[in-house]
Each structure stands twice: as C-alpha cells, then as structure tokens.
Structure 1
Amino acid sequence: MSRAAPPSRLIAALLLAAAVSVVGTGPAEAADSTVTVNLAAPGKTPTRAGAGFLYGLTQNGVGPADSLLQPLRPTLFRGGGARIAGHGWLGDGYRAGTGYQVRVTSAIDQARRVTAAPYNATYHLLVSDVWGADTEQPANTVYPCDNGDCTNWRSFITQLVTDVKASGVRVRYDIWNEPDGTGFWPRGVNSAQYYQMWNTAVTEIRRLDPAAVIVGPSYSGYNHGWLDAWLARTKADGTLPGVLNWHFGNDPLADSNDAKAIMSARGVGPLPMTIDEYLFSQQQQPGYLAWYLARLAPSDVSAAAHAIWSDCCTAGTLDSVLWNGQPTGQWWVYRAYAQLTGNLVAVSGGTGVAATAAVDQGAGRAVALLGNQTGQTGTTSIAFSGIPSWLLSGGRTRVTVQRIPDQSPLAAPIVVSSADLTVTGGALTVPVTMVSGTDAYTVTLGNPIDGGTGGGVSVVDANAADFTYGTGWGLTTGVADMYAGTANWSHTAGATATFRFTGTQVALRAVRDVDQGRMTVSVDGGPPTTVDNYAAARNASGVVWTSPTLANGQHTLTIVNTGQRNPASTGINIALDRADVTAAAPPAVIDGNDGRFVYSAGWGLATGIADMYAGTANWSFTTGSTAQLPFTGTRVALHAVRDVDQQIIAVSVDGGAESLVDNYAPARNASGVVWTSPVLAAGQHTLRVRVTGTKHPASSGWNVAIDSADVTA
C-alpha cells in the first residue's frame, strides 16, 4: 500500500503478517552455498527495473540533489501530492480549489524534472492522491460513484487531465491506489462501485487524451484471484489498462510469471507489468534489497518502486534511502545496481541467496550483486565461468569484494578484499563470508565499481598476508568475537609486527581486556605512540588507534609489544584483530549534460542512449566548436564515444598545449576514457575540448560525442 500510512491497527496487522510470511526473525547461520555466474552467456541489456521510488522527491521536485539521484539512474517515480495540506479535490468540497491545485502542481513539478534528461524516467501520477484518498479522508467522505452517481468523479478526471495536458508533461495515470480495503478505498475490492469508478476514469482519460497510458489495478499485494477477475471484467468492459501493476508480493519473478499466465488464459496482452511498491519496512535493508533486485532481473517486470514507511510524503529522502541528506546502505545497493551495465548474464544456484550479474567490456568489468532473503550469515561462493580474455592480464584478473552494511549513513562500501587472482580454464571461485544477514555484497572482476580500490574503507584481517610477524607472536583461531575468528597475539616484550598498506589512513583494531598490555604504533618510521589495551570489560575488535591523514600511497604500520602494562592489568598480552584502511576517494563522475560543461555554438544533445552515462550524448560535427568543464581537483579523465564515424578532438587543461585524440575505432565504445590529464596542483582548473575538423582515413564521419568526465579530488 502507499506509505501514506493507514490506521495504526491496520499497519500492525500487516507488519505482523509480513514478519510471519516473508522474513525470518533474525540472522541464521546457513550452510555454505554456491552461486554460479556464467559470463559466457550474455543476455538482455540491464533495464534497472528496480530503480524506482514512491514518494521519493520533495514537494516541488527539486530534491534530492542530482549528485544523490543521478548515480542511481532511476527509471520510475510515483506520486500525486499525498498528505500535502488541503486534502486535494476532496478537501476543496469536491471541486478544484487550492487543495487540489497544490497537489496537482506538486505532481507536475516532480514529473517535469524526472521525465526530462538526464533521467528520462517514467512518472506514475496517483490520481487518487490528487483526489484526496491518502488515508486521511474523513468518515463522511463521498467516494466516486457513491449511490451510482459518477458525475463529480468525471468532473475531477476532466479537470486533472486538462491540467496535465496544459503543462506539457507526460505522465501515466495510476487511477486508484490499493482499492482493496486498505484505507484508500473502503467500498470493496472488485465491487460493482469500483468498476463504475474505474470505467468512468478510463473512458474520460482516453476521451481527453487518446495517447494516455493508464496503470492499474494497484492492489496492495499480488493476489491471483483478484487479478484474474479484474482482467476478465476490464477486458469485457473495454477498459484494460496500458500497464498492469500490483504492489508487494513474496517473489517478483514468480508473481510476474503467474500474471503472464493469467493474461494468456484470458486472451489479454501481453501488457507491460510494474510493481509500484515493494519492500515492507523490515525488508528495507541492503541484503534483502539486493536479493529482491536479483529476483526482479530475470522477470518481465519493466519497473518497480521502493515503498515508503516513514517520511511521507515530500521529504525528498528517496523513501528513506537517504539519511539526513546522506547515502545509506540501501543507496549504495542502488548505486551498485546502476553499475550493472553491458549485458546481464546467467546466474543460478544458492540457498536463500540470489545474485544479479552483468558483464561490460566497455567498462572493463563484470559485476555480481549478492543479497539474501532469510537474514542468514555463512559463506556463499561466487563461481564465475566463461571469464573472457579481455578481463585477463597474464592469466590473472583483479577481484574486488565489497560489503554494503545496513548503516545510515554509509560513506562508502567496505572493501573486504582486492587482489589479482589466477583464472584457470576461464573459471574462478570467490568465497564471500556474510558477516551480517542484512548485508549486501558486490564481487567485481576487472575495474572496480564505486567504493572499490579507488575509494572507501578496506578491512584487512590481522592474519592476512599484508601483516608480517616477527618472533614472539602466535595465532589462535575460532575466536567468536573477532574478525574472521582469528587473533594474532604476543606476550613477549619487543615482539614486532608490521602491516603494509596503500591508502590515506589506517585504523588498528585490537583486543582490550583485563589481561592486555601496552604497545607502540608508528607509521613509516615516525615517532611511536603508546597504546594501553587494558580495559575492565572485554572489547575484542574495537579501534584502539587511528593514524593521521596520510598522503595517498604505500605506507608501513609498525606494532611493538612494550612488555609493559597498566597497573590494573593482569598480563602483557597484545592481540591484533584487523586494520581498516581508507583509500583515496573515487573520482566524481560529471555527466556531459549536467550543466557544468559549457558548450559553444555547434553542439547538440541526444537522449535515451542506453550505453552512455545518464543516457545522454553531447555531440558536434562543427569544426572549431568547443566544450569546457571548470572543475576543482588534481586530475580529470574525459569519456567520449569511440566509433567508426568519429573524428579527432584536441584536449587541453588551463590553456596549455593541446593533445590530439583520435576517436575513430572499428568497434563502438560509448563511454570509455579517451584522455587523462597529468596530475595537477590541487585547485580550480578548466578542461577544454575542441572539434578539429580532421579525422582518421578510415572514419566514415565527422562526429564528436562527449559522455562524461571523472574528476579526482
């Protein structure tokens, strides 16, 4: 149901039902399982079907900021002004007054932003929201077609469609939200009055706008019987929608297959299908979200919208995917989901877990996004097969495992590991230890996605190869409250350990307890700092010391057992748990059409281009035309199209010498890096691109097409 919350008693009942039927009561240790990812079986282009939001925007549609919204590459938004003061058409006494106007203005403002470039998303206008059915209706409400009178309802539809058409914004009409007794429509599911209301609206919308797309029935959950009856009746009445939709459900793949079977049996369609609300409140965490997206990928559902259970309805938090204007774990799952580009590949296996995966030669990587439905922990192995040769260098490929914890806010995913691993016979198996049942994970072969080796925090177990131990150290395994279950310990004065890392900061985690001693820590031969690990109560994995911010690069941390102790301590033990390494922030991605690029005359814009960032290309074939990007940072990389019809460009920074870049290529690469600047002094700079009017002899055209730029801070 729409998260314009129904009465509290109904919420409690629904949450209880969901808790019993959908999600377990807590994390459970599961037997190891294997998910197989076949990179040699590329399928359809990723549709980002799950990248949708119910009441995700601010009232006027300007929030959240593009920097938080564009990276998710959303495809669907849904709204209609629910809970905005004035109560819509209903609150105006069943006419178009100020209450109606503020709601329709909000919906049009939101739709205008997200249906235009760079989003080019779809907006489902909740007609019942504008009317006033957002669960705050008074008890004496006169609903559409009460006593068989649909006159006022028809007048409302006429006013709404007329106003939307006058705005010039294209929306899809979602006629009535959850018409099955959930507080939005108390006149009965599939009742005679409901069909009067539905048929009147469909007929009037199509009379006023024959090209309009209508969405329905928007039941609060997938229900085979309701949907079967509804399709039979609306087919008979000639009022079938353009899009078939529903909310929630246990498995989007199973539900969509069932809906297709009903349509086939009834001689309907096939109609496009959407799930306009998904995830109950207890499911709104990275692990379950990633599982749901994985189940959505092989289905025929074209779009789905994340549901809202708080912040309703104009907070601009993307249904609480943002926390105080900052990304959460769910946001990072959607960010990883947006980076599943190229082609989806075949995925199978797993117990209680699911993954969606894609391979993209242009991006130089293959990515698997892993989640789980049951809140389980344990180890899931990702078995890659059919690994293409372009992902290999010397028989090895870079493998990056990232953990996306259920945190609000979350600055970046945690890099669990990143290493070059050997591929044998085109196959490689990567074990993923699921620390928490609410975590999601990504496993990337090749160039890391956001939060990979170019940014975020890497967790390095103290028993990893990057730690080196001298004499006087031992290892204990099976320690339940320590990372990876291991403790590297010493009770010998002078015993030394070193940790080599690459990054900008390191935080050391060690045991604090009643028997722990004192140690010194230092970085790169600098002055040592004494750390007292005594504590009256045990903390096996807390941060005991954090370095200052360091220059990005290679460093060495040295730990020495001093043989000394706090007077209250019973021993001189030192036990290392792990280190958290902060890497340099990943480059900021600037779309060629986000307003920061400044174009001279002679440039045009193309939208809806699936293989380019944000779906846009800024193009020119006019000699002498220029594009400039002012930026602040230390380096910039330009992404542009390389193809059979591209010409040569000249690129420079800060008015310096130009570098000629030939964008001709016998095969298309729409978003690869074509030029990278040298390292620059930190500060403000300007990138300049000039159309030269020259080309490779083999090129068939004179085109230049800018995709985006990566700016390193």
Structure 2
Amino acid sequence: MNHRPLRRLRARAMAGLAVAALAGSWLVSAPARAGAADTSVSIDLSRPGAAPSHAGSGFLYGLSQDGSGPADSLLQPLAPTLFRGGGARLAGGGWLGDGYRAGSGYQARIDSALSQARRVTGAPYHATYHLLVSDLWGADTTQPADTVYPCDNGDCSNWAAFVDRVVGDVRASGVSVAYDIWNEPDGTGFWQRGVNSAQYYRMWDTAVREIRRLQPSAVVVGPSYSGYNHGWLDGFLGQTKADGTLPDVVNWHFGADPAADNADAGALMAAHGVPARPTTINEYLFSQQQNAGYTAWFLDRLAVSGVSQAAHAIWSDCCTSPSLDSLLTAGGQPTGQWWTYRAYARMSGATVASTSSGAIAVAGSRDQAAATAYALLGSNSGQSGATTLNVTGLAATPWLVGANGKVHVLVQRIPDVAPLDAPLTVQDADVAVSAGSTLSVPVSYVSGTDAYAVTLTPGNGSGSGGTTTVVDGTVTGGGADYFTYGANWGVTTGVPDMYAGTANWSYVAGATAGFHFQGSRVALHAVRDVDQGIFSVSVDGGPAVAVDGYAPARNASGVVWTSPVLSPGAHTLTLVNTGQRNGASSGNNVAIDRADVTAP
C-alpha cells in the first residue's frame, strides 16, 4: 500500500536495475517457476467442517472517503467481513497536523473512518471495522522529522488526551469499531521509537487502559506488526500479559503462509498461558503477489488457517479510492482479482477437508440446501502445467449426483487481467462418477497467475460442454484456429517463460498480425515488460482497442486482452503495432505468446 515509502523506494530501485538489465534482452529472462510436473490436489466431500468464514474477504481502506463507494453491486458479491481505515493521507495530518489537538485535520479523518464504518458494519454487510488509531493521530508516513511521538520523554499525557477524544467520538457516533492502536510499530515509517521498546509499551498500555476505562466492552486489536515474527510476538504477549493490557484480537500483517503463522501464534499464546482469542491479518498480499492466482492461493490457505478475518493490502491507490485495493479498475470495472474474491465468496454450507500440493492450493465447500459443491484453486509461485482436482467422498453426497448418474462440472478460469467482464469457461458438462464416489477434474494451468473455480451440481444434461483450446503464437498452418503475420514480424524459440517456449514479435510501427478462430470468446496472451509498446486489437473489423504492454516487472505469458462473448462461429482478430509506447517504457516491442479460444 502506498503507506510504505521505504518499501516503495526499494521496489523502485529494483525496478530500475531490472530496466538496465532487461532492456533489449526481454526474451531471455524467466520467472522463478514457469512450469512444473503434473500436480494433484483434492477435496473430500465426506468430511464436512464448519461453515465457510470468508476470512480473507477484507479490505484495507478501498472505500471512498465517505464510505459510499464502490456500489453495493460490486461489494456485496464479495461477502466482505473486515474493513480497516482511519483517514490516512487526508489533508490536515490528523491530530499531529493540528498541533497535537483536535482540529480540522483530525475531524476529517475521524469523520471519514466513522462514515465508512457506519456503512459496512450495518446491514447487509455486518462486517467488522478496525479503526486505525495511529492514522487518526497522523502516523501515516507523512509525519515530519521533528514529530513528538506518544510518550516521548516519558510524557504520555497528550497521547492519553487523544485516545480519550477518539473513544468519545466513537461512542457518540453509535458506530461499532475495534481499536487497532498502532500500525506496524516495528521500525517502519509509522513508529520511530523501536519495536517492542519501553516507550512502545508505555504508549500501548496507556491506550489500552484509557480505552477500557471509557468503554469497557471495547475490542482492542494488536500488535499489527508489518509481518509475522515469532520473536516479536513472543515478547509482546509476555509483556502485555504482565501489564494487563493483552489485546482482544491478536493481529499481524503478511506472512509466508497464514495457516503456519496462525498455528505458531496459537502455540505462543498457550506457552504464555494466554486464553485463546481471535487472530486477524489485516494486511496481506505484497504488490508483486496481487494477481488472481496468488490471491486464490492465499484465500485457500486462509480458509484452513483458523484466522478469523484478513484484509487485502493496498499499494497503489491509498486511501480514498473506491477500488477495493485495486480489485476494481479506475473506471470501476472488475478485475481478475475481483472475480477470484467472488468465487471465494460463493463457498457456502460447510467447508470440506482439502489437500493441497506444492505451489497449488485448494479449498472447497459443500452445500446440500443448494445442491452445490465448490472448489477454488490458486498458485503462489506462478506454477503452470497440468493439475488434477480429485473430488472424493461423493458417496456421502448423493444429492450431488443427478438422475443420469453424473455430476455437472463447471470449470472457470479466472485470468489475471483488468478489466475482466466474466471468467472463461473451460468445461461445462456432465461427467460420470468413478466407482460411485470419485471424480477427477483436469485443470490445465497455462498461466500461474490465473485462478480456477470449479462448481459441481447434479448432472442434468444441460451445459454447453464448452472447452478452451490453447493456440500457440507459432500456429500458422490454417485450420480452425491459427495466426497470420505480415511484414516485420519475427519468431524466437527457446524462451523458457512462454507457452511452448516461443514468441512472435515486432518493434516496427504498422506491423500487422491476425488471429483466426472458431468459437465464442478469445483471451490473448502477450509479454508485459519494461520495453514493451502499445498495440491495438480489433474483432471482425470493429473498433480497435489499445493494449499497453508496459509493466515494471516482466510477465511473459499473462492475459493482456479478453474479447467480449461473441456469437459462436468464425472470427478474426487484427493486431497492429501502433509504434507508440507508455512514457515509462524503453521500447516499442510487441511479443505475442498465445491465444485461448473458448468454443461451445
């Protein structure tokens, strides 16, 4: 999120090195993992558990300043359970900017936060709102070098007065919030007085005691470290237990695996004799992890972690943009990540036992009342290749098998593309159940940044039976689906991070290519990198749409454009190198990887 200037500077420095290293050589760099051996994951419908908690359906900021945006039609389908805010970056600088008192800067922030909380904690959402007390105070990384932090020189009186004002304003509003006292107090730009330092504990203890004195039923959240850290949390639990200021909700940010981190946090609480309490991760997903596939992986791990709530982090549009942390485009259109959250929200009934494998994670649910079972698949490493979803225990769900003895399987691919009007249908057909209790669903992971949603309903003979065909950019021999290239196009082989290891490329303005296909939809894959230019795409001679291939980090095989749903039949795409480029790009290259054709 753009709360973090130090992290952004590091990221920009790395991007600068990437520009120097990759300019003119985009065909030889590869991601950490471009492919893998066939993988199997599974869900067991005979082993139901608790109702889906939708723990990961949360957002750090992501709403308009007054909380009115985005529209319910874009928010309700995600079944959000957690929001977090406190007016960061609003003009005036909060309590700090007002000269360490309540003035217009503080008022703007508390008004924004309470307006947001009022919307999302009421019907139909009934979500939790974590009020970022430190953002109200002014610690949003914009504070000046001469800032007097809470309890500097042992004086906590102004800090106590501030906390009293916050609690008074919250109680007067009638809005229910949880008090998240200080954001990332571990040496980041938010707290300059040392992680778990004596001054930190004076600040923390003062806030907790004042909040509980004024509002005994209040929920306190912390310590909100910038990442899961065993040692820091160990020290925090020990000290706050001794001080009588333990939080009601134990919280941290990010982490490699929420399931492993939560297990460790539970063990630490037990070791300190701290009664079990909810855990939250109110920021997760670094900027480079925010794609549909990684998001699905983290949601899957949250589903089995025991973490009660988690909020998607914000990096590029803090803090009053109603984009749900970039799940929506600037124009308010859904992206691949939005559809991933939509698939996650559809899980209902009861969660079921699942087995993930390597970089592919899966979570599933079964709902007898709706006669439906769901599964969501994602990768945390960009892994591609064949994955099989094994659905077992169908003997325990006879309501899922139709009169024809089959289960209807709908496999939808969620490409990491923005905007995306709907997922792509990979399979939509009745499938026979093996030995009465097992079903194997193939999922062709052609891009590790994509997510897949699988829906099972009773077989009834309906469905398009639709499939998706992958057509490499070098397929030019005619037939149902093929490419054509005019002058000034070249081809390169042996590219490890592209489908079939090939790329068709041009850097000449006006160079034209075509893609001829039989189907109802097509998704185009091309390189996005620091030296890519802008090309146009048109369907059947219609209006051309510009596609910008620039990106600060390489993505060699992601979806860059998806057609609308077309009438089934023959269609032609026309691709033209415009000779133009993004101002940040170092070249006019266009590199075509492949196309995915959906046909009924």
Shared fold (TM-score, shorter chain, > 0.5):
yes
Alignment of 1:627-666 (within 5 A): none
Is 2:447 aligned against 1:436? yes
* CA deviation map 1:620-654 (0-9, x unaligned): xxxxxxxxxxxxxxxxxxxxxxxxxxxxxxxxxxx
Q: 1:271 aligns with which of 255, 260, 277?
A: 277
**2: distance between equivalents of 1:38 and 1:280?**
31
Alignment of 1:23-422 (within 5 A): 25-323=31-329, 324-387=331-394, 388-393=397-402, 394-422=404-432
| Alignment match, 1:446 | 457
SS at match of 1:322: coil
Could you tell me which amino acid in structure 1 is paired with residue 410 of structure 2? T
Name the larger-Rg structure. 1
Residues 33 and 350 in structure 1, CA contact (< 8 A), matched pair in contact too: yes
SS at match of 2:171: helix
Q: 1:481 aligns with which of 470, 473, 498?
A: 473
| Alignment match, 1:694 | none
CA positional deviation for 1:460: 4.0
**1: distance between equivalents of 2:342 and 2:374?**
12
**1: distance between equivalents of 2:297 and 2:84?**
23
Which consecutive unaligned segments of at least 5 residues does structure 1 have? 463-478, 491-496, 498-508, 516-534, 560-575, 583-713
CA positional deviation for 1:276: 0.8
**1: distance between equivalents of 2:232 and 2:14?**
22
Q: 1:332 to 1:206 in 2, by over 3 A?
A: same
Alignment of 1:617-696 (within 5 A): none
* CA deviation map 1:227-278 (0-9, x unaligned): 0000000000000010000000000000000000000001012111000100
TM-score (ref. length: structure 2) = 0.77
**1: distance between equivalents of 2:541 and 2:258?**
47
SS at match of 2:55: coil
Q: 1:14 to 1:32 in 2, by over 3 A?
A: farther
Could you tell me which amino acid in structure 2 is paired with residue 419 of structure 1? A
Q: 1:11 to 1:104 in 2, by over 3 A?
A: farther
Could you tell me which amino acid in structure 2 is paired with residue 397 of structure 1? V
SS at match of 2:63: coil
**2: distance between equivalents of 1:177 and 1:380?**
39
CA positional deviation for 1:481: 3.4
SS at match of 1:198: helix
Q: 1:15 to 1:67 in 2, by over 3 A?
A: farther
Could you tell me which amino acid in structure 2 is paired with residue 344 of structure 1? T
* CA deviation map 1:370-429 (0-9, x unaligned): 000110110110011112221112111111110000111110000111111111221110
SS at match of 1:28: coil
| Alignment match, 1:461 | 469
SS at match of 2:308: strand
SS at match of 1:312: coil
* CA deviation map 1:120-178 (0-9, x unaligned): 00000000000000000001100000000000000000011001000000100000000
**2: distance between equivalents of 1:319 and 1:554?**
31
Alignment of 1:585-596 (within 5 A): none
Q: 1:554 to 1:283 in 2, by over 3 A?
A: closer
Q: More helix by proportion, 1 or 2?
A: 2
| Alignment match, 1:512 | 484
**2: distance between equivalents of 1:292 and 1:557?**
38
TM-score (ref. length: structure 1) = 0.65
* CA deviation map 1:62-81 (0-9, x unaligned): 00110000000100000000
Q: 1:253 to 1:15 in 2, by over 3 A?
A: farther
CA positional deviation for 1:47: 0.3
Could you tell me which amino acid in structure 1 is paired with residue 473 of structure 2? D
**2: distance between equivalents of 1:106 and 1:248?**
26
Could you tell me which amino acid in structure 2 is paired with residue 37 of structure 1? I
Alignment of 1:7-26 (within 5 A): 7=6, 11-12=10-11, 25-26=31-32
Residues 354 and 371 in structure 1, CA contact (< 8 A), matched pair in contact too: yes
Runs of 4+ residues deviating >2 angstroms: 5-16, 24-27, 457-462, 479-482, 486-490, 535-548, 553-559, 576-582
**1: distance between equivalents of 2:369 and 2:444?**
30
SS at match of 1:326: coil
Could you tell me which amino acid in structure 1 is paired with residue 456 of structure 2? L
* CA deviation map 1:564-585 (0-9, x unaligned): xxxxxxxxxxxx9875459xxx
SS at match of 1:187: coil
| Alignment match, 1:506 | none
| Alignment match, 1:672 | none
Q: 1:113 to 1:514 in 2, by over 3 A?
A: closer
How many equivalent residue pairs? 495
CA positional deviation for 1:365: 1.2
**2: distance between equivalents of 1:461 and 1:55?**
39
| Alignment match, 2:3 | 4
Taking only the aligned residue pairs, the percentage that are identical comes to 58
Residues 3 and 307 in structure 1, CA contact (< 8 A), matched pair in contact too: no
**2: distance between equivalents of 1:287 and 1:133?**
33
Q: More strand by proportion, 1 or 2?
A: 1
Could you tell me which amino acid in structure 2 is paired with residue 372 of structure 1? S
**1: distance between equivalents of 2:416 and 2:595?**
22
SS at match of 2:64: coil
CA positional deviation for 1:514: 6.4
**2: distance between equivalents of 1:15 and 1:252?**
27
**1: distance between equivalents of 2:463 and 2:246?**
51
* CA deviation map 1:49-69 (0-9, x unaligned): 000000111110000110000
Q: 1:545 to 1:126 in 2, by over 3 A?
A: closer
SS at match of 1:136: coil
Q: 1:513 to 1:261 in 2, by over 3 A?
A: same
Residues 476 and 484 in structure 2, CA contact (< 8 A), matched pair in contact too: no
Alignment of 1:499-578 (within 5 A): 509-513=481-485, 546=540, 557=569
CA positional deviation for 1:185: 0.2
Could you tell me which amino acid in structure 2 is paired with residue 149 of structure 1? D
Residues 414 and 459 in structure 1, CA contact (< 8 A), matched pair in contact too: no
Residues 399 and 458 in structure 2, CA contact (< 8 A), matched pair in contact too: no
Which consecutive unaligned segments of at least 5 residues does structure 2 have? 19-29, 488-509, 523-537, 543-564, 572-593
**1: distance between equivalents of 2:180 and 2:35?**
42
Could you tell me which amino acid in structure 1 is paired with residue 191 of structure 2? W
CA positional deviation for 1:359: 0.8
Q: 1:55 to 1:578 in 2, by over 3 A?
A: closer
Residues 377 and 436 in structure 1, CA contact (< 8 A), matched pair in contact too: yes
CA positional deviation for 1:296: 0.9
| C-alpha RMSD of the superposition | 3.0
**1: distance between equivalents of 2:323 and 2:302?**
23
Could you tell me which amino acid in structure 2 is paired with residue 441 of structure 1? Y
**1: distance between equivalents of 2:325 and 2:441?**
33
